[in-house]
A and B are shown apart, each in its own frame.
Chain A
Amino acid sequence: MHDFETCYKKTRRQLTNFDFHAKLPKSMAKFNLASAMDSDGPNRRGYDDIKALRAALTDSKRKTNKSEGEILVAACEDVAGKTIIGKITGWLYDTKDRVSAVKMMRHMYLMRMRGSQDVWVYSPPKSYTQWLYDEFEGMNKAGLETWSSEDDETYSESDKTAMADATQMAMAWCMKCQVKLSTPDAASKALVRKWFCAPGADDKAVEKASKTLGLGFKKICSVLNSNKLVLSDEPNDRAGGGWKDYAFVYKSEKMSVVYVQSATLSAAKGSKMWLAALTIVHELSHREMNTEDHRYDSDGKLSPSAGQGALSAAHAIQNADNWGYFAADMNGGLAGGTSLTVAGVA
């Protein structure tokens, strides 16, 4: 298991299975977790049940003095396992898979952005170094009870808020880009020239770049507006040393997922919200427009007009950082010094 989508789909299969619900004690079965899971991604209509599940776990821990894992395992055990029917269904549906499914939902958060848009955050325990089903693989009941009690999450409350704020900013930027690129005025054309066109490019070249950008930002806006965007941890990558990075996507993943890592969180919480928003645009351009990383901002001269050593126009339109910086620049999100340093031109 290597991505959110695979984990999500397995969880959805578990939660939409009739027998699964039939076997749950009433205390758990009353949460219709499956209602939060559409085939193409999470749905806000089931979020009250996820919140109620979290509240019930907290309440149950307090009242029973049991660990979260003990409560989850007791709730998900094959309670009909002593009967022949129970043994058949128990064979089909393993307790640890059911615990994984409920545990996944317990760590899903719907972050409200301004307006009516939402973004989902999946924040599993930071002690997990694999996706849930792999994490619990091979554990006996006692091990499962211990390990599913882990609850110190990868993203703190302030991380989640910062991620939602960055997504909100990215969405506002991209919507403005989409509008401005539909009928570019002189200022918009100048920005297209700055970030994407060779020196002295004719109007036709500017128009062509504007059209490509317009199409791309429309696709990116569609993802940001979908209420199905998921900002997730990727435990394998985090444990493998990738946590220091900004973010990444899996290009082949059909669901809209951006894996947000520590550099983005540091930027968002350290007075560089614009850089966190830019990262979201950068990553979504990889997903939606199959952009490349020909060059990063740190090496400068992203503008094809930046003279010797500048990125070519052909590469600029394919370069994810050019998309991100263009969106920021279009929205006045860049300080003059930053724009000059990164683009290589004012």
Chain B
Amino acid sequence: MIAPVEHGGLRYEALHWAKERGLGQNGGFVAAIDIASGKELWVQRIYEIVYGDKSPQKYDRFITTLTLIDGDTALAVTDQTGAVYRLDLGTRAVTLISAAPDTTPPPNPRKPAKAEPAEKKGFFGRLLGD
């Protein structure tokens, strides 16, 4: 559970288990709750998760921080991959501030390089050969 953010009588929370609510993905939603009444006013999707063939937990991607920015008019929303989004609290428009850092491992220096592609000889060329 990450720390909610309060501003202007509202509490903004990251909604982790949205699948339970029929929202189709775990992670990626922010809910706004009226502090006085406890009533949930809206839920906004920040990013879409596309589930593939692996076990579902491989795709779940949760929000890790919520921070008020831009004179408290917006929230900066960070997800597990490090991507940061801006949620405008007035219009609920979402924009990507910065993409997730590239975590692709560098190529293994011990791995031999691919050979230059050989000239394609076709079937009879192969038969008649070198």
| A84 in contact with B17 (CB, 8 Å) | no
Cβ-defined partner of B56 (8 Å) among A91, A253, A286: A286
| B129 in contact with A293 (CB, 8 Å) | no
Contacts of B17 on A, CB cut-off 8 Å?
A: 294-295, 299
| B112 in contact with A242 (CB, 8 Å) | no
| A292 in contact with B56 (CB, 8 Å) | yes
| A138 in contact with B54 (CB, 8 Å) | no
| A127 in contact with B57 (CB, 8 Å) | no
Contacts of A90 on B, CB cut-off 8 Å?
A: 126
Q: Mark B115-130, 1 if CB is under 8 A from A, else 0.
A: 1010000010011010
Query: Does any Cβ of A come within 8 Å of B20's Cβ?
Result: yes
| B19 in contact with A91 (CB, 8 Å) | no
Please report the C-alpha to C-alpha distance between residue A294 and residue B111 in the assembled complex, in whole angstroms: 41
Query: Does any Cβ of A come within 8 Å of B70's Cβ?
Result: no
| A293 in contact with B20 (CB, 8 Å) | no
Query: Does any Cβ of B come within 8 Å of A140's Cβ?
Result: yes
Please report the C-alpha to C-alpha distance between residue A264 and residue B83 in the assembled complex, in whole angstroms: 27
Please report the C-alpha to C-alpha distance between residue A143 and residue B115 in the assembled complex, in whole angstroms: 8
| A127 in contact with B111 (CB, 8 Å) | yes
Please report the C-alpha to C-alpha distance between residue A245 and residue B60 in the assembled complex, in whole angstroms: 12
Q: Mark A320-332, 1 if CB is under 8 A from B, else 0.
A: 1000000000000
| B55 in contact with A87 (CB, 8 Å) | no
| B126 in contact with A248 (CB, 8 Å) | no
Query: Does any Cβ of B come within 8 Å of A311's Cβ?
Result: yes
Query: Does any Cβ of A come within 8 Å of B16's Cβ?
Result: yes
Most-contacted residue by chain A among B1, B20, B110, B123 (CB, 10 A): B20
Query: Does any Cβ of A come within 8 Å of B113's Cβ?
Result: yes
Please report the C-alpha to C-alpha distance between residue A296 and residue B112 in the assembled complex, in whole angstroms: 42
| B105 in contact with A239 (CB, 8 Å) | yes
| B60 in contact with A293 (CB, 8 Å) | yes
| B57 in contact with A294 (CB, 8 Å) | no
Q: What are 8 residue pairs bridging A and B, where the CB atoms are less than 8 Å apart in the complex?
A: A90-B126, A146-B112, A147-B111, A241-B103, A242-B58, A248-B57, A312-B20, A315-B19
Write the residues of chain B forming the contact surface with A, with a CB cutoff of 8 angstroms: 1, 16-17, 19-20, 26, 53-58, 60, 103-105, 108, 110-115, 117, 123, 126-127, 129
- For the complex of A and B, the 4 pairs showing the least CB-CB separation, nearest first, are A143-B112, A138-B114, A140-B115, A248-B55
